[in-house]
Amino acid sequence: MGDLVLAEEEVGPVMRKLEEGDISVTALHNHLAMESPRVMYMHINAHGDPNKIASAIRAAFALTKTPMGVPAPASDNTPFDLDTTTIAKTLGTPG
């Protein structure tokens, strides 16, 4: 099971590619009215060989503008000061 977030024009090609790979589209909807660009949410489901499923999903993603490369490292890894001990005492529980 999974969810894809797609531009409206990506829906048709992605849906066809997923169905070719035996992946079911279980729902397609939007969350907002009149947004621009139009964003659609596609729920998918598949059973079977995980490599075959992953390959089919990757082939579908290849039809989108979704970046598939490795994300760039964070530009700022500066630690921030957070007093977790006081937070845990205030909440009455650690974590």
In tens, the pLDDT along 10-36 reads: 999 999 999 999 999 999 999 988 899
12 closest CA partner among 28, 1, 26 = 28
pLDDT at 77 over 80: no
pLDDT at 78 over 80: no
**Cα dihedral sign, 69-12-42-10:** positive
Q: Which domains does the chain have, with CATH numbers?
A: 2-61 (3.30.70)
Residue 40 phi, psi dihedral angles, 5° rounding: -120, 150
What global pTM score does this model have? 0.72
Question: Residue 73: its pLDDT value, please?
Answer: 79
SS3 94: coil
